[in-house]
Structure 1
Amino acid sequence: MSEDSAERALRDLDDRHFTDVVLREMRRRKTFARVAEQIDSTLRTARVPIVDPFRSSAEPAAAARRAMIASAVHSSVLEVPHVCSSEACEILVGRGVVSDSTSADALRTFARDGRLIVLRGDRRWVYPRFQLDHFDPRDPASIVAVINRMLDAGHFPEAATAWWASPADSLPERRAPMELLGADHATLRQLATAYAAAADL
């Protein structure tokens, strides 16, 4: 594995797995074994849980319904084609909507504020692929950002992904909302408005 690939792999890990990997590798090397124990001890003494870097506390009003959906669909939404954070950066940089030098920080910001959906995959954060071709952070009216915020994707990414990817009874041929990207944004807004209103009941 090249140095760049190794660095990307570490960057893609969530905080908990990153800590595990670093401590395990430091313990394996005699030079750093003692330092590893000091770091581990410091983390344990602090008793501060490693929090989700993307999710703040949700408002309780709609939380129950969406949390129930999230629990039920977590495994299925990971079947929606997705990419790791490094690949997501490359896609956005390739489209010219973010700068290469700031893409990683920008991507985390977009996920944290709910403009992009990010899911906890197998030991790393992943981004549903469908949203990346239609996301432009330079445009306040970017349809992906607008809809994701309407769906409260920052707090309920699984439920938001399920909404985008699931066949909709109200659409011809029961198409999934994500199939309307680049084609019928007015209908997307109507569907998301109806979903958000139901979630707040």
Structure 2
Amino acid sequence: MSNRRIPRSRRAVGAIALLVSAVVVAVLGLVVSTVTVLVVATVYAVAAGGVAGRLLSNEIAQVRRDWAHDRAVLADEHRKVAVVRSREHIAFADQMSQRISLRDAQIANLRDALVTAEIELAQARERFSAERARRAALEADVTSARSDLESARVDLLAAQEALAASEAAEIQVRTELQAWQEAATEDGNGAQDRKLA
């Protein structure tokens, strides 16, 4: 509310002047103390008091109207401020609602990405387990192949030894056969020599 100083109006000054003049006339009437002067002074004082009362009541009504107008202006200013604040509040609420909606969408996207990542992780774990099982199977195959290779190597060495023994036996048999043939040839030549002789 405005703290303006209300200046004295002409009505208030006129009412005060009338009241002062009525007091002066009443004092003069008392000083003169004649019936006519007292009647005139009384009539004047009553008339001046009535006019002064009317002026003061008009002044009070005007002051009340001014105060009511000031209050109305102040209420209108408060209403305008409230409307502006309400609009700002609505705009802020809309902005926050949009931010919340955007944040909710981001959270939903992150949840979807998390679910996708978890699925991919589970698939990667399954592939890793399958590769581990495959590796174990391959290692078992390698171990089996090494065992088979070692067994084949042993069999090859045994075969080489058997071949060497067979070759040695063949050489021995050939040697014996050759010796026998030579002996037989010599026996045959000796018999022929004896026959010829």
More strand by share: 1
The alignment's TM-score, normalised by the length of structure 1, stands at 0.21
More helix by share: 2
The alignment's TM-score, normalised by the length of structure 2, stands at 0.21
- When Rg is computed on C-alpha atoms for both structures, the one with the higher figure is 2
